[in-house]
Structure 1
Amino acid sequence: MNHQPELNRTLGLGSALSIVIGTIIGSGIFFKQASVLASAGSSTHALLAWIIGGVITLTSGLTIAEIGAQMPVTGGLYVYIENIFGRRLGFLAGWMQVIVYGPAISASVAGFMSILITEFFGWPEQWRIPVAVVMIVAISVLNMFENRVGAFFSILTTLCKLVPITAIIVWGILHGHVTALGQTVTTVHQASGNMGVAVLATLFAYDGWILIANLGGEMKNPQKLLPQAIIIGVSAVLLIYTLISFSVFRFLPANKILALGEKATAYLAQTAFGQLGGKLLAIGIIISMMGTLNGKLLTFPRIVYAMAKRGDLPFSRYLAYLHPRAKTPVYATGAVMVIAILMTFFFNPDHLSDLCVFTVYCFYTLAFFGLFVLRHRRTEPRPFSVPLYPLVPLVALGGGLFILGSEVVNDPWGVILFIGVVVLGLPILWLIKTLDRKRQF
């Protein structure tokens, strides 16, 4: 009798926390200060946008933690939506992450990382895409080894990223001479968008908290560890982001931040710590983003694997393959890698990140509503219950709807494009099931 390899259940709380924190804290907090400020119109509103984004993320995490504790298996959102709302919506949730969200968010992080790397070495801008591609390939290959390797890399990079984070916070608060609150955008760029768009931009920086749910089948005690990792991890990131944003606004005038754009954090580092210190800080930020990209490319292939095991994807036989020794989905990892590489050639990282958040929040919002359905359907004791029910899931639901409405108003064509790609999954599902039925006869 052939024994099929299974995923290794080896991840503990330390690994889970490092994946949550390490996946969230990456490029967003270092690159999104200018875009959040431009949309918010003032430093006070920008800081408020970071806090609102954090609160929405925390309530979202608490809501998903209750669902995830009841469904502690590999697949995350794909499994949750299917179990609550049925096969088609579950498939679309998985398809969205496999084809749109996972590769796109990975490409976006790699794109932001390539900006810093080319700046660091003084390479021309045309090197950005090749550098992004190399980073995607290298970290994808890393995650084809046993999951302990990716988890160790997450722990290592999470510890490394504390250095630039601490340096920016301490230096900005102690040595900044700008009034952090009350600065209004008046020159350089005309403020555009609104608070909804500003909050949406912060949510890219907070993104990644749910990815630990994709590893439910590889955690030692997911009913207990999954809620702990999400709650502790998101709360820590909310505090860190608020302090970093305050420090940046205290060190640099608002219009200077807008003038520098994506290079604002690099300028702060070089100004504060000199040429050598600035480069060391830049290295820390690059390592931070490597950890984020590692978290994406560690977790998203698990969705591909979970869907392939159900026969929900083309070439499922290959995508569901686990390496017999490493117990990792090597072909699924390769598939996410290839799609992410393609996206680096066609999308600007900043625009890509906003559309990614919109797309995944369509299904987050559906899952938030699903908690109420699940509570009505299941009356047995739960491993974890969201506190202050129903207030917390209602805040998460309201925040999700607010984000969706804001993006529809401000970028309707981008929304139509990404929704179109998601809806294309339905004929794909129909074709797969039709071919399956023909093979059975």
Structure 2
Amino acid sequence: MDDLKSNKLGFWSIFFLGINSIIGSGIFLLPNKAYADVGLASLIVILINAVLALFLALCFAETASIFDKNGSSFVYAKEAYGNFVGFEIGIFAWFIGIVSWSAEIQGFLTALGGIYPIAIDPYYNKLFVIAIGIFLGVLNYLGVKFSKILNNLITVSKLLPLILFVLVGIFFIKGSDFFPLIPKIEFGLSTGNLGVATLVIFYAFTGFDLLAVAAEDMQNPTKNLPKAIIWVMIFCSIFYLMVMVVCIGLLGPKLGTTSVPIASATAAIFGSSGFLFITIATLVSIGGITIALSFIAPRSIQALADSKYVPEVFNKKGRFGTAGFAILLTTAITVSLALYGNFIFLASLTVIARLIEFISTAGSVLVFRKRKLKAQYKIPLGPIIPVIAIILSIWLLSQSSHENLLFIIIGFIIGAILYVTYAKKQMERQ
């Protein structure tokens, strides 16, 4: 029993898992977009996202404490709303993995473009996207596994430069770049711009849902998971706010014109050597996440196949013990999306797909409470937090572009076709 307990994640392991899941390309590459949209009010955007992410994360914590196995939005939705909605959420989980992977590929090339502009040249960018997609798809098929040591190195490589950036940069900020804050918010800001900026920056806060789905592997999850979620979101929110403050204080209006904000801000202090250092750290961080997502993305459709909800060909193992068709199809769709859109577009699309998943989970909290299902952890303040999370999520969805919504509708239609033609019969049999 003690041996089993020692293999489970304690509070600090959960905490660092959360940090590793959340901090990534978003904070390295998106502060410029927020500033370009709303200027100094980008600081308010960080706070709005912090509240929404914390409330949604708490919803995941409560739903995860109801089930005695690793949770997922698919499990919650199927239990709360029935087979069809559950299946659609399962398909969206696969879609989220695909879009996230494609976003990180373009994010990597955007960062690389800071030192090698050829990476963002329209022609060569497409060649790089195809090459990266094929390389990672082949690695995935060959069953290459990456150790915990690699993950730890990636975590340190992205946190240390950011911490140094904040600790050093705070002594060089120019106070004049923060005025006039109040007039900017009251008279120079449209609600539309605020919504668009909030939608894009929310990408930097996603990943907290990965904590809740691993509850089975944690020590005393009903105590440690909610506590870790709260502290992870507090840490990330304060950290992101400080990064944004330093970026504004070092670059001022120039922040809205650079594609690599943290690297450009570092260059304002240390010149080209600082720019190169942060760019390399950014590439290592985004590269690590890109590799991880290449392995994670096909697993969602494999999980549905394992449950007989999609044809078994999606989980048919080849000579290397991997699901070749699931990897091939996932890689092909990922590359196609990365060829179609840039990092900002793909990050926004990822957020919209995740919001559908998040709204479903927040709503399931209310459904499970009405059914009086026993939860080992309950969010305080009754239904207030889940309801606010749903309202804010719907507001963010309303800020999305028609192009993004079209992709979501297509994904919904594909899911409905798969359900009617195959999954419905399988679920009825079970």
Which TM-score applies when normalising by structure 2? 0.84
Stretch moving more, 134-143 or 349-358 = 134-143
Match of 2:3 in 1: none
Stretch moving more, 343-352 or 85-94 = 343-352
The superposition leaves residues 124-165 of structure 1 with CA deviations (integer Å, 9 ceiling, x where unpaired) of 524334434454555566667999835443322111111221
Matches within 5 A, 1:165-314: 165-182=162-179, 193-215=192-214, 226-254=225-253, 256-260=254-258, 262-314=259-311
Matches of 1:294 and 1:16 in 2, distance apart?
Answer: 21
Q: CA 1:376 to 1:116, structure 2 compared with 1: closer, same or farther past 3 Å?
A: same
Matches of 2:80 and 2:196 in 1, distance apart?
Answer: 30
Q: Name the SS for the 1:406 alignment partner.
A: coil
Q: CA 1:114 to 1:191, structure 2 compared with 1: closer, same or farther past 3 Å?
A: farther
Tell me how far 1:53 sits from its aligned partner: 0.6
Tell me how far 1:392 sits from its aligned partner: 2.0
- Give the superposed CA RMSD: 3.4
Q: Name the SS for the 1:174 alignment partner.
A: coil
Matches of 2:65 and 2:330 in 1, distance apart?
Answer: 26
State yes or no: 1:29 paired with 2:27: yes
Tell me how far 1:403 sits from its aligned partner: 0.7
Stretch moving more, 215-224 or 114-123 = 215-224
The superposition leaves residues 377-404 of structure 1 with CA deviations (integer Å, 9 ceiling, x where unpaired) of 1343x22222333332222122112112
Tell me how far 1:32 sits from its aligned partner: 1.3
Match of 2:355 in 1: 361
Q: Name the SS for the 1:179 alignment partner.
A: helix
Match of 2:370 in 1: 376
Query: Structure 2: which amino acid aligns with 1:390?
Result: P
Tell me how far 1:49 sits from its aligned partner: 0.3
Matches of 1:216 and 1:135 in 2, distance apart?
Answer: 33
The superposition leaves residues 337-374 of structure 1 with CA deviations (integer Å, 9 ceiling, x where unpaired) of 33212211112221121122112212311221210111
Matches within 5 A, 1:37-436: 37-40=35-38, 42-43=39-40, 45-74=41-70, 76-98=72-94, 100-124=95-119, 125=121, 126-136=123-133, 149=146, 151-182=148-179, 193-215=192-214, 226-254=225-253, 256-260=254-258, 262-314=259-311, 316-319=312-315, 321=317, 332=326, 335-380=329-374, 382-407=375-400, 411-433=401-423
Matches of 1:115 and 1:361 in 2, distance apart?
Answer: 25
Q: CA 1:303 to 1:169, structure 2 compared with 1: closer, same or farther past 3 Å?
A: same
Which TM-score applies when normalising by structure 1? 0.82
Matches of 2:146 and 2:280 in 1, distance apart?
Answer: 22
Q: CA 1:81 to 1:10, structure 2 compared with 1: closer, same or farther past 3 Å?
A: farther
Contact 1:22/1:292 (<8 A) preserved: no
Tell me how far 1:294 sits from its aligned partner: 4.2
Tell me how far 1:211 sits from its aligned partner: 2.8
The superposition leaves residues 231-288 of structure 1 with CA deviations (integer Å, 9 ceiling, x where unpaired) of 333222112111101111111112x12222x233322222322222321221111122
Q: How many residues align?
A: 415
Tell me how far 1:61 sits from its aligned partner: 0.2
Tell me how far 1:434 sits from its aligned partner: 7.6
Matches of 2:328 and 2:151 in 1, distance apart?
Answer: 20
Matches of 1:140 and 1:229 in 2, distance apart?
Answer: 34
Contact 2:305/2:315 (<8 A) preserved: yes
Contact 1:34/1:257 (<8 A) preserved: yes
Matches of 1:80 and 1:389 in 2, distance apart?
Answer: 19
Matches of 1:69 and 1:434 in 2, distance apart?
Answer: 28
The superposition leaves residues 61-111 of structure 1 with CA deviations (integer Å, 9 ceiling, x where unpaired) of 01111101223535611111111111100111111221x321112111110
Q: CA 1:219 to 1:335, structure 2 compared with 1: closer, same or farther past 3 Å?
A: farther
Contact 1:209/1:230 (<8 A) preserved: yes
State percent identity of aligned pairs.
21
Structure 2 residues not aligned, in runs of 5+: 1-5
Q: CA 1:86 to 1:436, structure 2 compared with 1: closer, same or farther past 3 Å?
A: closer
Q: CA 1:225 to 1:140, structure 2 compared with 1: closer, same or farther past 3 Å?
A: farther
Query: Structure 1: which amino acid aligns with 2:100?
Result: I
Query: Structure 2: which amino acid aligns with 1:296?
Result: L
Q: CA 1:50 to 1:150, structure 2 compared with 1: closer, same or farther past 3 Å?
A: farther
Contact 2:97/2:296 (<8 A) preserved: no
Query: Structure 1: which amino acid aligns with 2:361?
Result: A
The superposition leaves residues 272-309 of structure 1 with CA deviations (integer Å, 9 ceiling, x where unpaired) of 22222321221111122123334534544442232111
Contact 2:71/2:212 (<8 A) preserved: yes
